[in-house]
Chain A
Amino acid sequence: MSADIDTSVNSARGSQFGVGLVFAVGIVAVITGIVHITYTPISGVLEPYIPEVIQGAVGFTGTVTGFILMVSGYSLHQRYRVGYYLALVFLPIATIQGIVQSSITSLPLIILSLIALVIVHINRSRFQEQVDMTPAQLAAMVALAGVQLYGTVGTYSLRDQFDGVNSVLDAFYFTIVTASTVGYGDIEALTAQARLFTISVLVLGTASFAVALGVLLGPMIEARLAASLGRVRDRQLSQLEDHIIILGWSELTSQLIEELSEKVHIVVIAREDSGVPDIQNQERTTLVGDPTEENILERARIERAKSVIVATTDDSKDAFAILTAREITGDAQIIATAANSENVSKLERAGANVVLDPAHVGAQLLVDSTLRNNE
């Protein structure tokens, strides 16, 4: 095994460890935050120096930081660059909040967040994925933000016609409560103008909320459904490089997976009726389909594969798969086995670089090892 495989495996583990830590910091921050909302610290070291208001606010803002860090952990898990940026901003914030909370219960938060920051930073090269937003998603985000702005500015400028709006914060609060259809009713529109304005905020606000939820969450739900149905997104496949493709599902395939899965990413392409288990994970991707079909081989990025191993259940299927693979890729290494020794040369003719004859291997191992042992 070459060294570069080793290091990539190690750093993959390191980055996964970092992701786990960010999650952990998020959870700890939420818990510590809640504890500080409920109980005022008894024995804070810095307590005398920090105003009470800030100490109170630090509780719920700490919880919010925790939730943001969980989002960051999730994005890091998906290898998004934005997850790294979030971690870079919010891990130090969590540390500071821990210090400001200044009690013994926030000690784990301080230590964990610092460790997580270092590890995530070391592994930053793993998080390269760009968030690719569709124009519809961007438009929805802009609309959502625009309506909030419209509502806030409008309410504030009409504040004389509202009962209970005195500041920009009040105006923003009223807009959110209205646009999200929560409508507590604590702030009232007193004039016809204010009421018409409120109607416009309500209609635009709910519409933009609904659209935003649809376009932002829709693709996520779709992707989740697709993943659970075993369909792999092309985005995942597009990252494949130096992987090993195994064509067909047979006893050999499962043995190969055992041998290879810790060293390299494997893509298995096999027909549904071959009984291939549909597994997608860090080490392995399964594409269910006909391994003799060109476009599924192209989806598996065969041109960037390290090797292609043909392991269907019989030699004629092997030959067909080899021919197809060879047609698409000029120089990939194709390895096959011949169930019947006679077929070795035929599979080579079909385009396999290496054809292993198990009978020959077995005979050599059995006879030579036994005789040597006898000497």
Chain B
Amino acid sequence: MSGHLIVVGYDTWTDAVIELLRSSKISYSILLTDKEAAENLRSEGEEVVCVSDFNEQAFRDAGIDRADAVLVATLDDQQNILAVLTATDIDETMTVGTFTSRERDGPKLRRAGADVIVNLGQAVAELIAETALTGAEPQQLLEEILAEETIVELAQPAQVTGEGTESHEQSDAGIENDATTKR
């Protein structure tokens, strides 16, 4: 992975995303609407594009033409959907990952073109539930999830009770992460 990423939004959870990218030495630019936060990040040496709206021009300014993926990381699902739509509109093949705060927005985000949808609240609850039941380390569980060959989506409720990972590939309903269904 050598290319460039665009991080959209700057919210509660974005710092951790930026930190991870920085420590992984991945090139990225941050697209955001908050002027004050933009100034702060800029003074820290980050590549920042401050816009009033996540429109096509904003993505072009942030370098979507040379980007490999877009990470949408706001807490507002409406903004997330708009950003996902704009990014996939510019480039149909663009890989887009997004946060979602509401379970029911998962299918909408997928239809909008998101490849990875992370429902953080649900993911955290699943990790804690598994830890509470089995005593496993959450970090280890997380790595197990990430090590899965297939795409792991965390946007859906745990409906599937059987084993196997085949079901994770295409269908956009009833998919969930493996942490709760394995073992």
Q: Per-residue CB proximity of A255-269 to B under 8 Å, as 1/0?
A: 110111001100000
Question: Which residue of the partner chain, among A309, A356, A366, contacts B99 with CB atoms under 8 Å?
Answer: A366
A361 to B177, CA, bound (A): 14
Q: Contact between A252 and B121 (Cβ–Cβ < 8 Å)? A: yes
Question: Which residue of the partner chain, among A260, A354, A368, contacts B138 with CB atoms under 8 Å?
Answer: A354
Q: Per-residue CB proximity of A234-262 to B under 8 Å, as 1/0?
A: 00000000001000000110011011100
Q: Per-residue CB proximity of A333-365 to B under 8 Å, as 1/0?
A: 101010001000000000000101111111111
In the bound complex, residues from chain A placing their C-beta under 8 Å from that of B129 are: 256, 259-260
In the bound complex, residues from chain A placing their C-beta under 8 Å from that of B90 are: none
B53 within 8 A of A: no
Grouping DSSP codes into helix (H, G, I), strand (E, B) and loop, the A interface class, with mixed when no group exceeds half, is helix
Q: Contact between A361 and B17 (Cβ–Cβ < 8 Å)? A: no
A166 to chain B, nearest CB (A): 70
A357 to B154, CA, bound (A): 17
B82 within 8 A of A: no
Q: Contact between B95 and A374 (Cβ–Cβ < 8 Å)? A: yes
A75 to B71, CA, bound (A): 58
Residue of A whose beta carbon sits closest to that of B101: A251
A-B contact count (CB 8 A): 139
Q: Contact between B142 and A365 (Cβ–Cβ < 8 Å)? A: yes
Q: Which of B134-165 contact A (CB under 8 A)?
A: 134-135, 137-138, 142, 145-146, 151-152, 154, 157-158
Question: Which residue of the partner chain, among A307, A361, A371, contacts B69 with CB atoms under 8 Å?
Answer: A371
A369 within 8 A of B: yes
Q: Total interface residues on A, using CB and 8 Å?
A: 41
In the bound complex, residues from chain B placing their C-beta under 8 Å from that of A182 are: none
Residue of A whose beta carbon sits closest to that of B153: A369
Q: Contact between A307 and B132 (Cβ–Cβ < 8 Å)? A: yes
Q: Contact between B13 and A359 (Cβ–Cβ < 8 Å)? A: yes
In the bound complex, residues from chain B placing their C-beta under 8 Å from that of A337 are: 124, 128
A364-B146 contact in complex given A260-B133, A333-B135, A370-B69, C-beta closer than 8 Å: yes
Q: Total interface residues on B, using CB and 8 Å?
A: 50
Q: Contact between A309 and B128 (Cβ–Cβ < 8 Å)? A: yes
Q: Contact between B133 and A264 (Cβ–Cβ < 8 Å)? A: yes
B31 within 8 A of A: no
A340 to chain B, nearest CB (A): 9
In the bound complex, residues from chain B placing their C-beta under 8 Å from that of A364 are: 20, 142, 146
B183 within 8 A of A: yes
A1 within 8 A of B: yes
Indicate the member of B21, B120, B128, B154 with the most A CB atoms within 10 Å. B128
Q: Contact between A333 and B71 (Cβ–Cβ < 8 Å)? A: no
Interface residues of B (CB under 8 A from A): 1, 12-13, 15-17, 19-21, 24, 26, 68-69, 71, 73, 95-99, 115-116, 118, 120-129, 131-135, 137-138, 142, 145-146, 151-152, 154, 157-158, 180, 183
Kindly list 18 other residue pairs between chains A and B, CB separation below 8 angstroms, not including A2-B133, A263-B133.
A1-B183, A252-B121, A260-B132, A307-B133, A333-B135, A335-B128, A337-B128, A358-B120, A361-B124, A364-B20, A365-B142, A366-B71, A367-B24, A369-B116, A370-B71, A370-B95, A372-B146, A374-B69
